[in-house]
């Protein structure tokens, strides 16, 4: 089962996308429909709403007067929060009932208008956001739905802005073209991403980096993507996460890198990943624990004193270098390679990974040096495994420089990890 969030501003074409996905075979769960169901006469949420907002929000025969309530909550953020505190738990309960009823191999699409506003990208294995400039949405709402222009404008303004939507989107569906063009793009995402993602997840197959090393120019979308993935890990592991960060080359602005996102998650005890309930929560957000014979290790660099850069797919524990165990989590998303290093708090490796990252972030010469090394190794035609090994001498020299910088500046891992809510 793949759990997908679908959203977009009012009038963006979200319903058009959701209908197309249903035609293709997705199980669509419509948050608006559920939101209406839970406030039907006789439902406990309706009584609570009448108590909070007064009898004037009840129309004839005890039905909710949606227009009257809408007028209140669109004008008053606190009123909206109060309404949400009443309805959200009931909506969540009904939603999970429907998810549980979906077939094991279903792509389940949650059509949810407030995904971005509620900052919920991390609840899903993948988010699909329909994107259209606000002026076009306004025009379509007035023209096709006969909405009053002022009302349409107010509703659009009450929603998230485009930048927030883009940050929340794994897949941004541009709907400035025709409906046919939109359908074609949905069909493509269905067959190339959603279906294989679901299959990989169900069979426990993580996306792996290609053995052929390819460095790419820095992608400005990496930090936001890492943020979504961090939110997913946090969502799945909850309170067990002591801190979680984007690390590795994609976390350093302007650096060429393999298109592999490295995350680092610190927990007290990595054995929590063996709990089947944790495995289920990871799968809900598209993630898999990747184990291998002999386990995964960080290892000290050359002179044991200077450790900390994480090499994924690197040597097993070997007798000549000090090693620290870790676990690995990956995604089954065919469009993303993720190396999420789950390290125990006692491992010396995590602090050094942060130190190395922060040193590179603030030292342009070091970044340039690292970039030259990477490009030089790529030119030698190395595979990814040999490449990791060939970087070793450079690290042996660079890590003491990072440490000197850290000591000179009184560096500490910053208190606030990345992708942390609030």
Smallest gap from Cβ 128 to ligand ADP, in A, equals 12
Find residue 336's DSSP bridge partners: none
Smallest gap from Cβ 144 to ligand ADP, in A, equals 3
> 11 vs 286, which CB is nearer to ligand ADP?
11
Smallest gap from Cβ 179 to ligand ADP, in A, equals 5
The number of residues making up the chain comes to 422
> 156 vs 267, which CB is nearer to ligand ADP?
156
Smallest gap from Cβ 47 to ligand ADP, in A, equals 30
Smallest gap from Cβ 160 to ligand ADP, in A, equals 13
d(CA 257, CA 255): 6
DSSP state for residue 295 in the 8-state scheme: -
Residues 6+ apart with CB under 8 A from 294: 316, 317
Do 301 and 378 touch, CB atoms closer than 8 A?
Answer: no
Query: Which contiguous run of DSSP H or E holds residue 3?
Result: strand 2-8
> 8 vs 419, which CB is nearer to ligand ADP?
8
d(CA 162, CA 169): 11
Residues 6+ apart with CB under 8 A from 250: 218, 219, 222, 226, 257, 259, 260, 261, 262
Do 24 and 186 touch, CB atoms closer than 8 A?
Answer: yes
Smallest gap from Cβ 8 to ligand ADP, in A, equals 5
> 93 vs 181, which CB is nearer to ligand ADP?
181
Smallest gap from Cβ 57 to ligand ADP, in A, equals 24
> 165 vs 243, which CB is nearer to ligand ADP?
165
> 47 vs 147, which CB is nearer to ligand ADP?
147
| DSSP secondary structure, 330-375, as one string | EE--TT-EEEEEEEETT-THHHHHHHHHHHHHH-HHHHHHHHHHHH
Smallest gap from Cβ 397 to ligand ADP, in A, equals 54
> 165 vs 326, which CB is nearer to ligand ADP?
165
Do 214 and 259 touch, CB atoms closer than 8 A?
Answer: yes
CA dihedral over 216, 221, 224, 225, signed as positive or negative: negative
Smallest gap from Cβ 246 to ligand ADP, in A, equals 31
Q: What string of H, E and C letters represents the secondary structure of 192-247?
A: HHHHHHHHHHHHCCCCCCCCECCEECCCCCHHHHHHHHHHHHHHHHHHHEEEEEEE
Residues 6+ apart with CB under 8 A from 383: 211, 212, 213
> 9 vs 344, which CB is nearer to ligand ADP?
9
> 112 vs 226, which CB is nearer to ligand ADP?
112
| 3-class state of residue 376 by DSSP | helix
Smallest gap from Cβ 40 to ligand ADP, in A, equals 22
Q: Which residue has the tokens 């023209």?
A: 143
Residues 6+ apart with CB under 8 A from 199: 105, 205
> 147 vs 396, which CB is nearer to ligand ADP?
147
| 3-class state of residue 17 by DSSP | helix
Binding site for ligand ADP (CB under 6 A): 8, 10-16, 140, 144-145, 175, 177-179, 182
Residues 6+ apart with CB under 8 A from 365: none
């Amino acid at each position: 089962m793949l759990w997908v969030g679908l959203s977009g501003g009012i009038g963006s074409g979200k319903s058009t996308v959701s209908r197309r996905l249903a035609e293709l075979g997705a199980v669509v769960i419509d948050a608006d429909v559920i939101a209406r169901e839970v406030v039907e006469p006789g439902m406990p949420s309706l009584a609570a709403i009448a108590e909070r907002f007064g009898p004037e929000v009840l129309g004839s025969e005890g039905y909710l007067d949606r227009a009257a309530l809408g007028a209140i909550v669109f004008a008053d953020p606190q009123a909206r929060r109060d309404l949400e505190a009443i309805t959200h738990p009931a909506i969540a309960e009904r939603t999970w009932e429907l998810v549980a009823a979906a077939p094991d191999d279903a792509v389940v699409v949650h059509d949810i208008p407030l995904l971005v506003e509620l900052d919920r990208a991390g609840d899903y294995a993948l988010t699909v956001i329909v994107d259209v400039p606000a002026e076009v949405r306004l025009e379509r709402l007035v023209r096709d739905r006969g909405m009053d222009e002022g009302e349409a404008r107010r509703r659009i303004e009450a929603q998230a802005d485009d930048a927030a939507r883009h940050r929340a989107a794994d897949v941004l569906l541009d709907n400035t073209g025709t409906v046919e063009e939109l359908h074609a793009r949905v069909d493509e995402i269905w067959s190339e991403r959603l279906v294989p993602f679901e299959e990989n997840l169900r069979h426990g197959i993580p996306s792996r980096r290609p053995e052929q090393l390819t460095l790419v120019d820095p992608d400005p979308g990496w930090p936001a993507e890492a943020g979504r993935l961090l939110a997913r890990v946090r969502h799945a592991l909850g309170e067990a996460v002591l801190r979680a960060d984007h690390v590795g080359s994609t976390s350093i602005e302007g650096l060429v890198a393999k298109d592999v996102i490295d995350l680092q998650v610190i927990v007290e005890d990595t054995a929590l990943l063996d709990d089947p309930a944790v495995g289920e929560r990871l799968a809900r957000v598209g993630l898999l624990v990747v184990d291998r014979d002999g386990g995964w290790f960080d290892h000290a660099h050359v002179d044991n004193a200077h450790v900390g850069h994480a090499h994924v797919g690197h040597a097993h524990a070997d007798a000549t270098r000090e090693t620290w165990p870790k676990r690995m989590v990956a995604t089954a998303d065919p469009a993303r390679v993720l190396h999420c290093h789950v390290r125990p708090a006692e491992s010396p490796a995590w602090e050094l990974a942060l130190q190395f990252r922060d040193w590179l972030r603030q030292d342009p010469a070091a970044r340039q040096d690292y970039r030259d090394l990477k490009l030089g190794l790529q030119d030698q035609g190395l595979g990814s495994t040999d490449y990791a090994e060939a970087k070793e001498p450079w690290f042996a020299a660079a890590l003491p420089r990072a440490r000197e910088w850290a000591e000179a500046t009184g560096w500490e891992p910053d208190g606030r990890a990345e992708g942390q809510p609030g």
